[in-house]
């Protein structure tokens, strides 16, 4: 059954498409909404998101054995991120995790929830865990600050808030960024996801508005996410994606833990190899007044013959209220970070000149024996 948020009935609401279907792309003024969200005076309806819970005394140790992250000692109020990988180390699920003392809450994209709950259930064996897909009951309202007005609408009439660890390097993690941590643009986008009851969304928004917090659509949240270099499952990922390519060793992988599916690829690429692709930010020419669609090919500027072959693809694009048109793209590692690029649009002859701002350093990986530099770990 297709989900439709009750907030789509709000005046001016324009429905989002694609992965954000079910909520509003904007409420009539996308740039104003984006500024308000950036400044902490707006919230975004992400109630279409998937919510999976895991109850039982073995839940955290069990999730640790299955995933890329160490969550055994996760305390109520803590937030983390974990990946479930294939044998080849490719990303299958990317979950935001927190625990309330009784249940672990996994917040995922809408397209992940059913498959994640089914897979986790198949891995229970004799352990004391109980997996439930709670997506029809619970949703998410997000903002760039903690919203105390939403405390009354949480699972226990109390706060259940996931604080994004990005862009800090989590314990056991490692930075692949092409800039030092003090200059990472993600620092300008703190991010908090509040679990609220779907049936009480309208009441929750009324409580926010009484405190001077308005509504922003997903066009606003996506622009801020892209500017913060934050990858998103289903957009920046495909069937071949390994965590190194998106700098997800930073927040979602604990390099000192072992015995999980995909671990060999994580260790081999990190220690001895290089990720085959790398995430980059593209500053786009805004003269066309449009944006390239996800999947648009990226080629070398002025290329001819073989030089017109795609070097990668756009994964997300948005109009930022300060930076103008920007996009995330996954490129081949061999692409010169100083090369001028062109994005081919959907219409014939539609092109966007693009300048790179590397996110994952071209020489990321192969840390054994290499001198210390911009790539660094958090013990």
The answer to whether position 247 is within a domain reads no
Q: Among positive and negative, which fits the CA dihedral 244, 245, 246, 247? A: positive
pLDDT, residue 223, reads 98
For residue 1, is pLDDT > 70? no
Is-contact 120 261, C-beta < 8 A?
no
- If asked whether residues 314 and 168 sit together in one domain, one would say no
- If asked whether residues 37 and 116 sit together in one domain, one would say yes
Would you place residue 374 in the very low, low, confident or very high pLDDT band (cuts 50, 70, 90)?
very low
- Locate 321 and state its tokens: 């209220």
Residue 222 maps to which CATH number? Answer: 3.30.1360.120
- If asked whether residues 86 and 176 sit together in one domain, one would say yes
The range of the structural domain enclosing residue 346 comes to 276-358
Q: Tell whether 193 is in a known binding site.
A: yes
- If asked whether residues 166 and 67 sit together in one domain, one would say yes
- Locate 318 and state its tokens: 């948005």
The answer to whether position 253 is within a domain reads no
- If asked whether residues 155 and 299 sit together in one domain, one would say no
- If asked whether residues 213 and 280 sit together in one domain, one would say no
- If asked whether residues 181 and 58 sit together in one domain, one would say yes
Name the residue with tokens 């693009």: 354
pLDDT, residue 305, reads 46
The torsion angles phi and psi of 55, rounded to 5 degrees, stand at: -105, 170
For residue 327, is pLDDT > 50? yes
The answer to whether position 256 is within a domain reads no
Alpha carbon distance 216, 29 (integer Å): 9
- If asked whether residues 85 and 214 sit together in one domain, one would say yes
For residue 220, is pLDDT > 70? yes
């Amino acid at each position: 059954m297709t989900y439709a948020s009750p907030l789509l009935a709000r005046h001016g609401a324009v429905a989002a498409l694609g992965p954000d279907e079910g909520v509003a792309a904007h409420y009539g003024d996308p740039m104003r909404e984006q500024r308000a969200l950036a400044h902490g005076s707006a919230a975004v309806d992400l109630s279409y998101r998937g919510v999976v819970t895991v109850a039982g005394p073995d839940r955290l140790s069990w999730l640790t054995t299955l995933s890329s992250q160490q969550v055994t000692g996760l305390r109520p109020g803590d937030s983390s991120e974990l990946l479930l990988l294939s044998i080849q180390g490719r990303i299958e699920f990317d979950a935001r995790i927190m625990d309330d003392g009784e249940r672990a809450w996994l917040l995922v994209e809408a397209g992940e929830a059913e498959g994640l709950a089914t897979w986790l259930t198949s891995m229970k064996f004799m352990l004391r865990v109980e997996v439930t897909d709670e997506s029809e009951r619970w949703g998410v309202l997000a903002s760039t600050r903690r919203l105390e007005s939403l405390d009354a609408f949480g699972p226990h009439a109390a706060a259940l808030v996931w604080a994004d660890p990005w862009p800090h390097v989590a314990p056991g993690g490692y930075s692949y960024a092409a800039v030092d941590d003090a200059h990472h643009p993600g620092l300008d986008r703190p991010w908090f996801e509040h679990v609220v009851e779907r049936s009480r969304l309208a009441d929750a928004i009324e409580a926010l508005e009484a405190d001077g917090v308005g509504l922003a659509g997903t066009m606003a949240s996506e622009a801020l996410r892209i500017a913060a270099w934050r990858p998103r499952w289903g957009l920046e990922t495909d069937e071949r994606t390994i965590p190194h390519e998106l700098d997800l060793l930073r927040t979602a992988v604990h390099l000192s833990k072992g015995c999980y599916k995909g671990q060999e690829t994580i260790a081999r690429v990190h220690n001895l190899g290089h990720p085959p692709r790398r995430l980059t930010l593209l500053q786009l020419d805004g003269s066309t007044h449009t944006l390239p669609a996800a999947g648009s090919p990226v080629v070398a500027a002025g290329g001819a013959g073989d030089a017109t072959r795609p070097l990668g693809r756009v994964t997300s694009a948005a109009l930022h209220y300060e930076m103008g048109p920007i996009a995330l793209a996954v490129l081949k590692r061999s692409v010169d970070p100083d090369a001028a690029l062109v994005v081919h649009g959907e219409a014939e002859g539609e092109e966007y000149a693009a300048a790179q701002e590397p996110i994952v350093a071209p020489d990321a990986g192969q840390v054994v024996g290499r001198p210390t530099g911009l790539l660094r770990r958090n013990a």
